């Protein structure tokens, strides 16, 4: 029986360069995955609108995970959607709090903590903090399930996280921002859900490969069959503990490229 593989990847600082968001150094490995018909599943803190645009640039339409595991989107033509009687172009799966609920809680917390979210920022401020062009910044502000935010005093983090947990929310750290999300929402759970859908369709186990660089990628990397930690843009690694994982040789898409090529050279 043919072995099945699924590649799950973070974007910023992993498949995309931290400074200019380019994936050019990863083109060889991207071509390999396409040639071998291996699904490349984006798992990101970015929004639906951002990922749709990026997938067009990558020349693909695959299921993907948004806003740190809060939502899964499956294109209607995917093998995973063949049994579903949906007419939408993209089929959405989510059990997360709505953005309205997140903003209500976040607004309440602003009275006690030095935090500022995307919902409090102008598009020019988002451009300043992300380095994204205007159109991409507008897409980044189209949140459905999470609120990226800046924290002026990180000593407040523990207390904020405790209050968030008590109300059914959580705080996760990404490459540039903290993110207010639903409790128990993470990339790992979304990865396992999508992997199960593929395994049901193919009626066999799929080998899960996951790559990421930040704290919000750790559970996904650890629960994959093959996990790869990509170094940060300065060459250091996020502290992930004694997990049985691979470590990429280079930051960003260059390290992503070499890791994928090395993995599939041995498979």
Query: Residue 25's domain spans which residues?
Result: 4-94+186-265
- The answer on 148 and 17 residing in a single domain is no
**CA 62 and chain centroid, separation:** 14
pTM over 0.75: yes
State the number of CA atoms in the 13 A half-sphere of 207 facing the CB: 11
Query: What per-residue confidence (pLDDT) applies to 241?
Result: 67
| Residue in 10, 186, 213, 217 annotated catalytic | 10
Q: What is the CATH number of the domain that holds 259?
A: 3.40.50.1000
Query: What is the spatial distance between Cα 125 and Cα 40, in angstroms, rounded to a whole number?
Result: 32
- The answer on 142 and 115 residing in a single domain is yes
Domain-terminating residue out of 128, 152, 182:
182
The segments of the chain whose pLDDT lies below 50 read none
Query: What per-residue confidence (pLDDT) applies to 84?
Result: 66
Query: What per-residue confidence (pLDDT) applies to 267?
Result: 72
Query: What is the spatial distance between Cα 199 and Cα 78, in angstroms, rounded to a whole number?
Result: 14
Task: Judge whether 10 counts as a catalytic residue.
Answer: yes
108-136 confidence digits (pLDDT tens): 999 999 999 999 999 999 999 999 999 99
Q: What is the CATH number of the domain that holds 129?
A: 3.30.980.20
Closest CA to 214 of 263, 184, 253, 173: 173
Which residues does 181 contact at the CB level (< 8 Å), separation at least 6? 67, 68, 69, 70, 96, 102, 145, 146, 169, 170, 171, 172
- The answer on 14 and 83 residing in a single domain is yes
Other C-beta atoms within 10 Å of 30: how many? Answer: 20
Domain tally, the chain: 2
């Amino acid at each position: 029986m043919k072995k099945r593989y699924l590649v799950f990847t973070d974007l910023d600082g992993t498949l995309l360069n931290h400074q200019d968001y380019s994936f050019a150094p990863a083109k060889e490995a991207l071509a390999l995955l396409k040639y071998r018909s291996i699904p490349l599943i984006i798992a990101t803190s970015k929004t639906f609108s951002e990922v749709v645009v990026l997938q067009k640039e990558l020349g693909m339409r695959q299921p993907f995970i948004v806003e740190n595991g809060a939502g899964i989107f499956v294109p209607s033509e995917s093998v995973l959607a063949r049994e579903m009687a949906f007419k939408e172009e993209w089929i959405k799966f989510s059990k997360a709090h709505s953005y309205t609920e997140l903003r209500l809680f976040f607004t309440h917390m602003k009275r006690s903590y030095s935090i500022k979210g995307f919902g409090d920022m102008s598009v020019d401020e988002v451009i300043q903090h992300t380095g994204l062009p205007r159109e991409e910044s507008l897409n980044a502000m189209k949140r459905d399930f999470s609120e990226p935010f800046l924290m002026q005093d990180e000593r407040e983090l523990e207390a904020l996280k405790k209050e968030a947990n008590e109300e059914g929310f959580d705080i996760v750290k990404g490459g540039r921002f903290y993110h207010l999300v639903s409790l128990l929402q993470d990339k790992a759970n979304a990865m396992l859900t999508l992997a199960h859908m593929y395994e049901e369709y193919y009626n066999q186990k799929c080998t899960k490969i996951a790559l990421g660089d930040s704290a919000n990628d750790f559970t996904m990397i650890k629960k994959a069959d093959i996990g790869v930690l990509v170094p940060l843009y300065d060459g250091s690694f996020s502290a992930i503990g004694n997990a049985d994982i691979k470590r990429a040789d280079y930051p960003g898409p260059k390290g992503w490229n070499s890791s994928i090529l090395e993995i599939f050279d041995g498979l």
